[in-house]
A and B are shown apart, each in its own frame.
Chain A
Amino acid sequence: MKNLLHPKWNLIINVIPAILLFFYGVYHFDLIFSYLNEKQIETWNHFLISLGILSGFSTIYTLALLIKKTKINLVFSISQTIFYFSFLVYFFTNYINLNPFSIPEWLVSEITLFQYFGTFLLPSILYGLILSVLLVTPEKKKYYLLSNLGYALIFPILCFFFVLGILPLFKFSDSKFRDHLLVISIAIFTVLFFFYLFRFIYILILKKGKKPSKTWYRIWIFIVSFVFPIAGLIVYQEIFHGIAPLGEFNNFWIYFLTGFNALILTVRNVSNKNLNFILHFLKFVTLPFSFYFFIVFLPILPFSVIAIFMIGFGFLMLSPFLLFIFHIRELSVSFKILEPYFSKIKLIGFSILGILIIPSILTFSFIQDKITIDKTLNYIYNPNYFAKETIQTNRLENVLQKIKIEKKKNRNTLFEASLPYISSYYNWIVLDNLTLSNNKIQEIESIFFDKNYQKPSTDRIQNENVKITDIQTESKFDETTKTWISTIDLKIKNFDENSWQKEYATTLNLPKGCWISDYYLYVGDIKEKGILAEKKSAMWIYSSIRNERKDPGILYYLTGNKIAFRVFPFTALEERKTGIELIHKEPITLNFDGNQLNLGEKKNNTLFYEDENIAFLTLNEKNKLKKVKRKPYFHFLIDASDSINTQNKEEFEERINQIKTTFPTYFKNAKISLVNSAINTFSLDENWKQFYTKNKKGGFYLDRAIRENLVKSYRNSGETFPIFITVTNDFYDAILNKDFTDLEFTFPENRWFYNLTTEGNLESYSLKENPTKKIDSIPFKETFKSVLAYQINDKEIRYLKNDDYPEIILKNEFLEIPEEKIKEKNWVSALYMEAKNQSFHLFPETLEKDWKKSVKYSFKSQIMNHFTSYLVVENESQKKALFKKQKAVLSGKNVLDAGEETTRMSEPSFYIISAILLLYILYTKRKKRMRLS
């Protein structure tokens, strides 16, 4: 124990955390700077300067002690306690200025200032107190155990009388002074309370003064390890029911481990050395448990005095702290007992093994969860249409449950998670610190558990009174690249006199071969240039800022060539200026919110582009192609979800047979897919019925069925094409939320699919937009347009839509963009990125591996693609938050470099090499020492 007086401990416990905290403080201040007013900036400055001085002084003093080879003295330990405690009091009393409400929650949601300061500063204070106890309690003297406990308990009572009895007797002209006095008196009583409490523990564990008998000692341990924690957990549950300020501890495993830990600690060592060894090992197994609660409760330790007289049960808040001390004490005792019988290496080895058991079990279970959720997400969003995937639905259900609990976390809690630190660890392992949106959770649940599917709510566009007042366009032709660069400058006005928070939102359909290469928005009088950012991060920040009612503007791809264009907010009668830049080769006509814009003019340049990977055909080239009429066939998509029973099944068959009589020609080569969470496709002539009842699991996942079969029919491109017909009891229950515009090149003949009703009628639905909306005006027709055949080589043909629009052709379906094709503001670069997007839709399984490359190429070319977004934010804090989020998103999922064709010759980890080298050096030194001795 006296070892603690060596200054190296001060370096570890006090100096290093204080320095780390100082740097963290600077980082945090920098992040939130734009949101602080003068007073708050001043508080932050005072705060950081004091922390800097404190940590600086502590560092110098500790180094001086180390050089002079002297121990820490009483003056230092007491002054350290006082200064750090005062600093902590300063922190809490100024918390509202340091962490004001003006800071948006999303900016700092992952960080809690309170948590950091509690965890970093408290050890310094506790250490100072312990040192003071050691220095004023010399070993030779005898002490009364209970008198120290008595002193410890008397201070909360004195505090109670002083605050509620004596202080109100005085009248203070200045209420600030009274508050100050109140805080300081509580602080002093708290320090005194802890001082005597530690002294009591010190005397108890060293069995000084009046030695408690062994039985009494065991009883103490039992009280501290079982009675206090269990009572604490129950009281916590009762008092904070539904609020859970420190976390949700109402978990079977916590109660179980509490009991188990108590049992291990209370059992005394026996005469059998092997049994003692097992006991010792088990104590190490439960050590992380004690340590966990110690760390979680550490930040609130100073409040336990207030809690003692306010709630009465406040002393239970001390139980994690006491438990940890007793646990360490027990370990050191059993270590000493076992030392003569077992080698040190064996003891240490098993200790490390023991400590690792609980964290390893947790990690293993989290990794299993990660595998399940990754598989599920890949199955839905990056599927390999040609591979079978099995997903453990039981585990998936559990994972979703956990994620939902995390999402429900109460924002008012000190720790923003149900189990502090563990939840963060879970989020880090399972979700890479990202989250699953409610829409995604709902989608997964409806796909795998046939839960009621609610269509994702789309943002309500509320610009009835926000209109474009002026549009100016300018097109410049770049002779060297033969490309048009057109700018559109807009003035948009809110005509509503009363509304202050209007948004302007519109969608525009970019013609093929036209892309966005720049964006700006006026914020006040300043023209802010758009930042090209990763799309998910940009959308996250836009919606966060919009909730804060600040000034963002955003541009991003919806499906196909449809772009969302949004600006927020417009105050009453406010007019704002914004604009975009487009890059295109041929003159285009763009419909911008009802305004027809003609950009560029006819030049003597050809738009046709062709190389070994892709081709861009204009009408001229398309007219030269051969026209082909392919044969249609019916492809039935039958509802095989959980809710379907045998009776339904027979009825579905009947419907199909009925339609066969009306359209017999479409039944040649007809196919059938049983659609639930998995898609099983058969030829209609096969005996598919036997699989029908077997295969029921999950909901009617129509989106996947159509997508998968579109891609399959495209990739097996032959002389036939499918006409999709759904057969279900309730079409509106089908899981279908997006249109299929992205896959438009896979259905050149027919842009409709149909639902076969009970009466045997075919209802039409569009594949291109709003696929759940019935279109009565378009009945099923039996004639289909011819298509154009583009011969790639002897074997491969691409079938193109026979219309007047240009077309991008993937000569090589599995397209890899050659690095040299990507140049700044270059039309061919944009064409390649667009073609790559088509390739992604054919091979969604490659998305995970390659999407970051697409982000990179977009940044490099400064042209927005389907993975990026143009965005204007208001201030530096928002920019920082955007880049931080972008970094998290871009590093999300673990396949950053793995499997990339081009290998990065990265060097091995700094820490691993340093650690192994250090171990080697220590080992050789030890060996040398042993040889010499």
Chain B
Amino acid sequence: MKEIVLTKNYIFYGIAIFLLFLLKFWYKNTSADDVGFLLKPVDEFISLITNSNSIFTKETGYFHKKLNIYIDKSCSGFNLWIIATMLFIFQFVTFLKKDLNKILAIIFSFFIGYIFTIIVNTFRIYTAIIFKNISIFEANSKFTHEFIGAIINLTFLILAYTFIQKIINKNNYEKFASSKMEFNN
């Protein structure tokens, strides 16, 4: 039997996945009001960039009359936040050695995941607004919208992943090089 080496990291991964499920479950029963911490900043940015004002209602979220769009619960970027946070947690937990650091990394990941989500989600919605006004995409607007959203979210996630991976590798290489030097000395 091929042995799978099981490290303590699995516990942290388990905790992260458990939190993910918990959050997903919570999200199911929320309204636009509850995910305001994600929606509000994005709406502010969109208002700023497009010079449009929005009206907030619990049922429909933020409605921009000028742009004729809703930014509601389904646009909150909650899923992106979860994915990004998980991505960061897994990378940091694998890299860090001390348990305390791992725990701090989990908390930290939620925070940088949040910042990441606000930026990417604003970018995604802004791009979607631009494409919405291009007539050739009108016939398949829903597909176009989803497609653009997927491309943007994925691009940023992959970029974030590669960036963190590069830092980790560099760090590892430096550690490895310094330990080798110590060994040689």
Partner-B contacts on A (CB < 8 A): 2-3, 5-6, 8, 63, 66-67, 69, 71, 819, 856, 860, 897-899, 901-910, 912-914, 916-917, 920-921, 924
Partner of A907, one of B11, B68, B149: B149
Return chain A residues, CB-CB under 8 Å to B142: 897-899
Q: Are B74 and A907 in contact (CB under 8 A)?
A: yes
Partner of B150, one of A860, A904, A908, A920: A908
Partner of A913, one of B10, B14, B78, B79: B79
Partner of B68, one of A6, A898, A901: A901
Q: Is B161 an interface residue (CB 8 A)?
A: yes
Find residues 45-75 in chain B having any chain A CB closer than 8 Å to their own CB.
59-60, 63, 68-72, 74-75
Q: Which stretch of B95-103, B108-116, B120-128 is in the interface? A: B120-128
| Minimum distance in angstroms from A858 CB to a CB of chain B | 13
Known: A904-B75, A905-B69, A907-B77. A913 touches B4 (CB 8 A): no
Main secondary structure of the interface of B (DSSP, over half): helix
Partner of B69, one of A5, A69, A902, A913: A902
- For the complex of A and B, list the 10 residue pairs with the smallest distance between their C-beta atoms, beginning with the closest: A910-B79, A908-B150, A908-B149, A905-B75, A906-B74, A898-B142, A905-B125, A904-B70, A903-B69, A902-B68
Return chain A residues, CB-CB under 8 Å to B181: none
| Residue of B83, B142, B157 with most chain A CB atoms under a 10 A cut-off | B142
Q: Are A907 and B1 in contact (CB under 8 A)?
A: no
**How distant is the Cα of A289 from the Cα of B10 in the complex, in angstroms?**
37
**How distant is the Cα of A920 from the Cα of B150 in the complex, in angstroms?**
14
Return chain A residues, CB-CB under 8 Å to B157: 913, 917
Return chain A residues, CB-CB under 8 Å to B149: 906-908
Return chain B residues, CB-CB under 8 Å to A8: 4
Q: Are B5 and A69 in contact (CB under 8 A)?
A: yes
Return chain B residues, CB-CB under 8 Å to A905: 69-72, 75, 124-125, 128-129, 145
Q: Is B146 an interface residue (CB 8 A)?
A: yes
| Minimum distance in angstroms from A69 CB to a CB of chain B | 5
Q: Are A916 and B154 in contact (CB under 8 A)?
A: yes
Q: Are A907 and B69 in contact (CB under 8 A)?
A: no
Main secondary structure of the interface of A (DSSP, over half): helix
Return chain B residues, CB-CB under 8 Å to A916: 150, 154
Q: Are A906 and B1 in contact (CB under 8 A)?
A: no
Q: Are A6 and B141 in contact (CB under 8 A)?
A: no
Q: Is B85 an interface residue (CB 8 A)?
A: no
Q: Are A66 and B6 in contact (CB under 8 A)?
A: yes
**How distant is the Cα of A342 from the Cα of B176 in the complex, in angstroms?**
40
| Minimum distance in angstroms from B74 CB to a CB of chain A | 4
Partner-A contacts on B (CB < 8 A): 1-6, 10-11, 14, 59-60, 63, 68-72, 74-80, 82-83, 87, 121, 124-125, 128-129, 132, 141-142, 145-146, 149-150, 153-154, 157-158, 161, 165
- In the complex, besides A69-B5, A860-B59, A907-B80, 14 extra interface pairs with C-beta distance below 8 angstroms are A63-B14, A69-B3, A69-B4, A819-B63, A897-B142, A902-B63, A902-B69, A903-B132, A905-B129, A909-B150, A913-B154, A917-B157, A917-B161, A921-B161
Partner of A917, one of B78, B83, B128, B141: B83
Q: Are A903 and B6 in contact (CB under 8 A)?
A: no
Chain B: CB-nearest residue to A911: B79
Return chain B residues, CB-CB under 8 Å to A899: 141-142
Return chain A residues, CB-CB under 8 Å to B124: 905, 907
**How distant is the Cα of A912 from the Cα of B4 in the complex, in angstroms?**
28
Known: A69-B5, A903-B69, A904-B74. A917 touches B125 (CB 8 A): no
| Minimum distance in angstroms from B65 CB to a CB of chain A | 9
10 residue pairs A–B, Cβ–Cβ below 8 Å: A3-B2, A6-B1, A66-B10, A904-B69, A904-B70, A904-B72, A905-B125, A907-B121, A910-B82, A913-B80
Return chain B residues, CB-CB under 8 Å to A69: 3-6
**How distant is the Cα of A47 from the Cα of B75 in the complex, in angstroms?**
41
Q: Are A903 and B59 in contact (CB under 8 A)?
A: no
Return chain A residues, CB-CB under 8 Å to B76: 907
Known: A67-B10, A860-B59, A906-B74. A917 touches B69 (CB 8 A): no
Return chain A residues, CB-CB under 8 Å to B68: 901-903
Q: Are B83 and A914 in contact (CB under 8 A)?
A: yes
| Minimum distance in angstroms from A517 CB to a CB of chain B | 19
| Minimum distance in angstroms from A880 CB to a CB of chain B | 14
| Minimum distance in angstroms from A427 CB to a CB of chain B | 24
Partner of A902, one of B70, B125, B128: B70
Q: Are B153 and A913 in contact (CB under 8 A)?
A: yes
Return chain A residues, CB-CB under 8 Å to B63: 819, 902
Return chain B residues, CB-CB under 8 Å to A921: 161
**How distant is the Cα of A913 from the Cα of B155 in the complex, in angstroms?**
10
Partner of A2, one of B1, B14, B75, B161: B1
**How distant is the Cα of A908 from the Cα of B142 in the complex, in angstroms?**
11
Return chain B residues, CB-CB under 8 Å to A909: 79, 146, 150
**How distant is the Cα of A6 from the Cα of B6 in the complex, in angstroms?**
12
Chain B: CB-nearest residue to A905: B75
Q: Are B1 and A5 in contact (CB under 8 A)?
A: yes
Return chain B residues, CB-CB under 8 Å to A6: 1, 4
Return chain A residues, CB-CB under 8 Å to B146: 906, 908-909
Q: Are A917 and B87 in contact (CB under 8 A)?
A: yes
**How distant is the Cα of A71 from the Cα of B1 in the complex, in angstroms?**
9
Chain A: CB-nearest residue to B82: A910
| Minimum distance in angstroms from A860 CB to a CB of chain B | 7
Chain A: CB-nearest residue to B63: A819
Chain A: CB-nearest residue to B87: A917
Return chain A residues, CB-CB under 8 Å to B60: 819
Chain B: CB-nearest residue to A859: B59
**How distant is the Cα of A273 from the Cα of B75 in the complex, in angstroms?**
53
| Minimum distance in angstroms from A725 CB to a CB of chain B | 43
Chain B: CB-nearest residue to A69: B6
Return chain A residues, CB-CB under 8 Å to B158: 917, 920
**How distant is the Cα of A722 from the Cα of B150 in the complex, in angstroms?**
55
**How distant is the Cα of A344 from the Cα of B5 in the complex, in angstroms?**
25
